[in-house]
Amino acid sequence: MGDKGLINVSQFLRQYESESTKKNYKTGLKTFFGVIYPKLTGEDLDLLSKRYFKEGRDFRSDVLIFKESLKSKAPTTIGNRLNSIRVFLDENGINFPKRFDGFL
């Protein structure tokens, strides 16, 4: 997947006016990339998102790994974190089939 049409984290967050939404989405994305790239914690989220899409990863598998990492969190937190990833991936043209919705 090339860079054309990809939305990095900063661009994604700028779409929202609510500071609460921005904060929740940023936290979710930061947590997600921390699970995917544990040795790169603290790296720029825009660089991590660019790297993530360039690697041709198995998005479904990554989301399931992320979901598993959240199992000790409160249900609302889990829902918020998964939603942030779902929306971010959707904005970047990564859509999951309806049958996968139950997992998210």
The domain limits of the chain are: 9-94
Q: Which residues contact 11 (CB under 8 A, 6 or more apart)?
A: none
Model pLDDT, residue 103? 54
- Residue identified by tokens 């198995």 is 58
The two three-digit tokens of residue 81, written as one number: 């974190």
Give yes or no for a contact between 24 and 84, defined as CB atoms under 8 angstroms apart: yes
CA distance 92 to 59: 12
Query: How confident is the model at residue 3, as a pLDDT?
Result: 55
- Using CA atoms, how far residue 24 sits from 4, 61, 98, in Å, is 26, 22, 24
pTM of the predicted protein model: 0.86
pLDDT value, residue 1: 45
Local confidence pLDDT in tens for the 104 residues of the chain: 445 678 999 999 999 999 999 999 999 999 999 999 998 767 799 999 999 999 989 999 999 999 999 999 999 999 999 999 999 999 999 987 665 555 55
Looking from the CA of 1 toward its CB, the CA atoms found within 13 Å total 17
